[in-house]
Structure 1
Amino acid sequence: MLPILTDLIDHNLTVLFCGINPGLKSAWDGHHFSGRSNRFWKVLHQAGFTPYQIEPLNDATILDFGYGLTTAVARATVRADELTKDEFENAIEAFKTKMDLYQPKYIAFLGKPAYAVFSGKKQISWGPQTEDFCGAKVWVLPNPSGLNRGFTLSDLITNYKQLLIAIQ
């Protein structure tokens, strides 16, 4: 059985970044976004969220900047499209409980799948959403996975930078 990737979360974070689910490498390593092709840490730094690029081994230092990490679904997979709609639906209540407890100012969903199920919306645009979720403002950002070739590194940085500008 795969280990569960531990959330990096605290009360009243400025942004809680919510991945769809852990990749297998991240689950085994015990560190978020540790897959070699994942661009999260590079994008976060180049968009201006952190003054240096955090290494996955030091992922907990993201809390020092007022940001945190969680996933919508705990089960690790090679690809997020291996998850079923039932897995997302079964994760909603636990996710809401977590948001009510920690009360981040913003939730940044990394990719559309989790937010689509959690919000019940069929059409979701990138960027800020009109409704709050558990009292937090919501942004939907492109997933930084190396498997997401629909967004270049530059595209990702531009999208993430828009969130940074909004929270300042």
Structure 2
Amino acid sequence: MQITVHLSGFTPRRLAPAEQEELLTYRLGITNVVARATARADELSAEEFREGGRILTAKVELLRPQWLAVVGVTAYRTAFGEKKAQIGPQERTIGSTRIWALPNPSGLNAHWTADSMAQEYARLREAAESPAD
């Protein structure tokens, strides 16, 4: 993920995993939809994703970021009940927070290369840098 975030232009250099707190200096917060570590997303139940979506919604309502980016369109679909969602900006909002579904850098998504993922992440960066409508 660090290479994708860097290649997209969110950070000026590739950060090491131990430097995750530095993301806040770039006005980025990254969290998981589900807080349980797994080797693969298919190890998580639909209920875990839905509960994660409820918890994430509460955080967004409290912190009110401009954008919420959810990594993994399947995670987004399940957590928020949006069965037809595609990668990119979503119609749904949480208050005034817009939502963007990003590709997951998992090996299960081999059709997404580092470059194509970085391009999608860069689309979000450009939207986030644009003046709010």
TM-score (norm 1): 0.72
Larger relative contact order (CA 8 Å, sep ≥ 6): 1
1 or 2, which has the higher helix percentage?
2
Specify the SS of the correspondent of 1:130: strand
Alpha carbons 1:127, 1:140 under 8 Å: kept = yes
Counterpart check, 1:49 vs 2:25: no
Summarize the alignment of residues 137-152 of structure 1 with structure 2, pairs less than 5 Å apart: 137-152=98-113
Counterpart check, 1:162 vs 2:123: yes
Distance, in Å, in 2 between the alignment partners of 1:126 and 1:89 is 19
- Name the amino acid aligned to 2:106: S
Distance, in Å, in 1 between the alignment partners of 2:3 and 2:13 is 9
- Name the amino acid aligned to 1:167: A
Matched with 1:67 is 28
Summarize the alignment of residues 4-23 of structure 1 with structure 2, pairs less than 5 Å apart: none
Specify the SS of the correspondent of 1:86: helix
Q: CA deviation at 1:131?
A: 2.0
Alpha carbons 1:45, 1:53 under 8 Å: kept = yes
Summarize the alignment of residues 12-161 of structure 1 with structure 2, pairs less than 5 Å apart: 40-161=1-122
TM-score (norm 2): 0.89
Paired residues in the alignment total 129
Name stretches of at least 5 consecutive residues in structure 2 with no aligned partner. none
Q: How large is the Cα RMSD of the aligned pairs?
A: 1.4
- Structure 1 pair 92/159, CA: closer, same or farther in 2 (3 Å)? closer
Q: CA deviation at 1:119?
A: 2.6
Specify the SS of the correspondent of 1:167: helix
Deviations 1:18-44 (A, max 9, x none): xxxxxxxxxxxxxxxxxxxxxx11111
Q: CA deviation at 1:132?
A: 1.0
Name stretches of at least 5 consecutive residues in structure 1 with no aligned partner. 1-39
Distance, in Å, in 1 between the alignment partners of 2:74 and 2:94 is 15
Alpha carbons 1:96, 1:134 under 8 Å: kept = no
Q: Report the identity percentage.
A: 36
